[in-house]
Amino acid sequence: MVRIQSLLVLALIATALGYKRYEGYKVLQVKPENEDQVHALVKMNQVLGFEVDFWRDARAVGRNCDFMIPPEKESLVMDFLAYFGITPKVVVNDVSVMIDRSMKEQQEKPKIDWKAVKADPNQFPLDQYHTHDDINAWLQSVAATYSSFVTISSLGKTLQGRDMLFLKIGTPKPNKNALWIDAGIHAREWVADATALYTISQLVNGYSTKFKTLLDAIDIIIAPSVNPDGYEYSRLSDRNWRKTRSGPRQGCYGVDPNRNWSFHWGESGVSTSPCSDIYDGPSPFTEKNCQNMKAYLDANNNTIKGMLTLHSYGEDWIYPWGYKTHTYPPDVNDLRALGLQAAAAIQAVHGTKYVVANSADSLYPAAGASDDYSKSIGIKWVYTVELRPGDGDTANDHQYGFNLPAKFIIPTAEETFPGLMVVANRIMTGP
């Protein structure tokens, strides 16, 4: 295999192939000290008249918030921040350098030995980011190898015809309760998909030992990549792609698949501009990948007792309702208590501290998300999980954003796993 050593050569190739460049784009980090500063950040896009890309959405007093700015807007943004007394820290000086590194990592990853993987799915490198086709091929090999307790099905095809495969892991028995876990609804949040694959591997390998009781009692359904059109676009064309690939509408592609669900659709935290990263779509459920997920959740809402949706990044374990601040489901105390247990289980692994909170209060209201919809159809334990962006060293954390180097996949996934299992165990023990 050709190894491309020079980042410059790689950059030239990327440009020639039409890969979106981010030369001179910076990622700034700010920590608002008071409500006025929070408010200024929330209003920044509206005031400046263009869309600053928020990488870490938290916009509460004392919480870091990261966003990417193009070079030509830098002085405008700096002036805006200065006006409100906000001093940003530059966490990424040139996003294109970071992206080139992650492309190089992709180029250099070892080729998958499919013969070996088919014989033993553990031969699949979980410490790498994979193509959609490779993810699906691996899911097939897991299902084939562990066919006595794993079934594979498709939620349906995406707009571009990709298969949204998922596994159901558990001893076959009728009417079992289940935990649903999805990842990758936002295309660029690659470590989420990778964490879902790791989770699958843990469960199938521990089926006859440490997870025997659990998987005899409940099923765990894992859909590891629920926006594959966007995912492939983020691999091949624009590393920062978040949305689906429908359209064009007004010359722009994609809908934010986490704003396209019907519950309180469009009420908050969305844009009605098709060019926005948080475009909610022309109406609810226009996006094929959302329709497919919805159909499955609707059809199984009597047995699915928990719904976990993996995102990156933030280190947040957040619960509904997300569409409006200070607005909670009646069992919010249950959600909070279990969330705290999950966060404690995560922290016990590598010390990563998650914030457990209501999503609208701690981030900002955003309507039309999959978590609120799932809660609205009666699923009890619903959480959005924002994984970590960094190496776990808090002094240097948040330095990679969505471009988390592959070597951090395992630490991220292995700390997340016990958090997910807290919810699984809760479903096992009953209502």
Whether the Cβ atoms of residue 338 and residue 426 lie closer than 8 Å to each other: yes
Residue 326 class from Cβ within 10 Å (0-12 exposed, 13-18 middle, 19+ buried)?
A: exposed
Residue carrying the six token digits 């469009």: 266
- Name which of 136 and 234 has its Cβ closer to ligand ARG: 234
Among 102, 289, 376, 384, binds ligand ARG (CB under 6 A): 384
- Does 315 sit near ligand ARG (CB under 6 A)? no
- Does 184 sit near ligand ARG (CB under 6 A)? no
Binders of ligand ARG among residues 51 to 70 (CB under 6 A) are: 57
Q: Applying CB under 6 A, which part among 90-98, 121-129, 225-233, 363-371 lies near ligand ARG?
A: 363-371
Contacts of 379 (CB under 8 A, 6+ apart): 180, 297, 301, 304, 305, 306, 307
Q: What is the DSSP string of 232-248?
A: HHHHHT-TT--S-----
Q: Applying CB under 6 A, which part among 59-67, 161-169, 197-205, 361-369 lies near ligand ARG?
A: 361-369
366 binds, among Zn ion, ligand ARG, none (CB under 5 to 8 A by kind): ligand ARG
Q: Which residue is nearest to ligand ARG (CB)?
A: 322
CB 307 to ligand ARG: min, Å: 12
SS3 category, 46: helix
- Does 425 sit near ligand ARG (CB under 6 A)? no
Annotate each residue in 249-278 with x if it binds ligand ARG (CB under 6 A) or - if it does not, as one string.
Answer: ---------x--------------------
Residue 31 class from Cβ within 10 Å (0-12 exposed, 13-18 middle, 19+ buried)?
A: middle
Half-sphere exposure of residue 155, counting CA atoms within 13 Å on the CB side?
32
- Does 388 sit near Zn ion (CB under 5 A)? no
- Does 312 sit near ligand ARG (CB under 6 A)? no
Query: What span, in angstroms and rounded, lies between the C-alpha atoms of 429 and 75?
Result: 56
59 binds, among Zn ion, ligand ARG, none (CB under 5 to 8 A by kind): none
Binders of ligand ARG among residues 292 to 311 (CB under 6 A) are: 311
Half-sphere exposure of residue 364, counting CA atoms within 13 Å on the CB side?
20
Which of 189, 287, 386, 415 is catalytic? The answer is: 386
DSSP state of 120: -
CB 314 to ligand ARG: min, Å: 7
Annotate each residue in 164-203 with x if it binds Zn ion (CB under 5 A) or - if it does not, as one string.
Answer: ----------------------x-----------------
CB 11 to ligand ARG: min, Å: 30
Q: Applying CB under 6 A, which part among 80-88, 194-202, 365-373, 398-406 lies near ligand ARG?
A: 365-373
CB 188 to ligand ARG: min, Å: 12
- How is residue 42 written in tokens? 């929330």
Q: Which residues of 333-357 are buried (b: 16+ CB within 10 A; e: fewer)?
A: eebbebbebbbebbbeeeebebbbb
- Does 234 sit near ligand ARG (CB under 6 A)? no
Q: Walk across the sheet containing 26-30 and list its strands.
A: 53-56, 65-69, 26-30, 89-92
- Name which of 257 and 411 has its Cβ closer to Zn ion: 257
- Does 29 sit near ligand ARG (CB under 6 A)? no
Residue 386 annotated to the active site: yes
- How is residue 199 written in tokens? 């989770």
- Does 390 sit near ligand ARG (CB under 6 A)? no
Residue carrying the six token digits 């200070």: 326
Residue 132 — left, alpha, or beta (φ > 0 → left; ψ -120 to 50 → alpha)?
alpha
SS3 category, 168: strand
- Does 280 sit near ligand ARG (CB under 6 A)? no
- Contact residues toward ligand ARG (CB under 6 A) are 57, 258, 311, 318, 322-323, 359, 363, 366, 369, 371-372, 384
Active-site positions read 386
- Contact residues toward Zn ion (CB under 5 A) are 186, 311
